[in-house]
Amino acid sequence: MAKRRPSGDGMVRKRDDGRWEGRIVVGHKKNGDPIHRYVLARTQKELIVKLHDCIEMYRDADLTEDSNMTLGEWLDRWINEYMIFTIRESTLDSYKAMIKNQIKPYLGDRPLSALTTQELQKFYNTVKKNGRVKPDRRHGTELADSMVRGIHMMLHEALDMAVCLRLIVKNPTVGTTIPKNNYPTKQILNDEQLDRFMKRIRQDERWYDFFYTELTTGLRRGEICGLKWEDFDAENGKLKVRRSVAKRKGGGLNIGETKTETGTRTIVLPPSTAELLRKRKETAVSEWIFPNIYEPEKPMHPDYAYHRLKTLLKQAELPLIRFHDLRHTFATHALAGGVDAKTLSGILGHTNASFTLDTYTHVTTDMQRNASTIVGSFMDEIMLEGDDTNR
């Protein structure tokens, strides 16, 4: 049996075509045979420089024979063997879509071990301009900055795993430049607009409880759609947030964990919201607090909530804010202090807004503490008696 050649071992020779060739051992197959990397140059001097760079790149490397697979093959394996049970189904669907629509058409056939930082940078620049599968009037073929960032973060994670498994020696995504976060501008309903919105939802029996609860808790859309009666502690006025509902690619719903680890939490409800849910529970027809309008055995579809919000805003002649902006509205009014905090309390049902500040994970502990101090001074002044919103 031939002696196993150590990684880094190499040779230099002059080829019949006059060029110089160098090779080094960078790993071993399962049977012990060496895996080589080759460099070519016109002169021996030029080759020595290239070979030295190659040796430095693969110093202490011991790659496996799987390092010869393509990027497309590795991403399929990474998704199906390493990620399938570690991420939410909606995230898995988005990863598969990015691999299919953006990465494979450009880099799918590239050998995994041959990828370079420069090549990935060029890919990001290209896919930013031409990566949209279905061009539209507003964006043409250009991808959103957030999409390019998402592709980069997924590739970075996948290639980090490739490094750990000795498929490549370094992660080529390191050193690339990607677009900065470019989030849409937050839109907040001011006092007068919030009052108009509340007057409008009071006229909508089917949706009033839903949006009242949203405005007094600041829950994410998927979280409020995913609430079950088992999550509601009627006696103590508390609500457990432990799942989220998301639209599934191709139709249907995914019911999974909350968006983040800190998303699973218990919140203390304002008295008016707790009372609203107690009364709602008396006539409940489903395990879901807010069931699907047409199929009560299922949770509220997040898209239904989104489209209904747009309709209500339009009817109230208000800005067509995003659903997530209701979350921002809740936090802004609750944390503003003074008049704004009292206004929120008055508009939303005469309660203490500070009860739910811990549900809004965008704010800091200090901000919560300060806001609680401000609104705490008037919590005893407000009574639920005569509040016609608690139905």
The CA distance from 345 to 338, in Å, is 11
pLDDT of residue 257: 77
The CA distance from 314 to 123, in Å, is 41
pLDDT of residue 10: 63
pLDDT in tens, 334-381: 665 433 344 444 444 444 433 344 334 334 334 333 333 333 332 323
Q: Say which CATH superfamily domain 191-381 falls into.
A: Intergrase catalytic core (1.10.443.10)
DSSP 136: B
The CA distance from 99 to 79, in Å, is 10
pLDDT in tens, 37-95: 777 888 888 888 877 777 667 666 667 666 778 999 999 999 999 998 888 887 888 99
Class of domain 68-164: mainly alpha
What are the backbone angles phi and psi of residue 101, rounded to the nearest 5°? -90, -30
pLDDT in tens, 286-345: 999 999 988 999 999 999 999 999 999 999 999 999 999 988 888 877 665 433 344 444
What are the backbone angles phi and psi of residue 65, rounded to the nearest 5°? -65, -15
Helix (H, G, I), strand (E, B) or coil at 28: strand
Please state the domain extents for the chain: 10-62, 68-164, 191-381
pTM here is 0.63
Least confidently predicted of 133-147, 234-248, 254-268: 254-268
User: Please, what is the Cα angle at 290 between 232 and 263, to 5 degrees?
Assistant: 55
Percent above pLDDT 90 for the chain:
43
The CA distance from 242 to 327, in Å, is 18
Instruction: Provide the pairing of β-strand 244-247 with 253-256.
Output: antiparallel
pLDDT of residue 173: 96
- Of the pLDDT bands very low, low, confident and very high (cuts 50, 70, 90), residue 15 is confident
Say which amino acid occupies 80. N
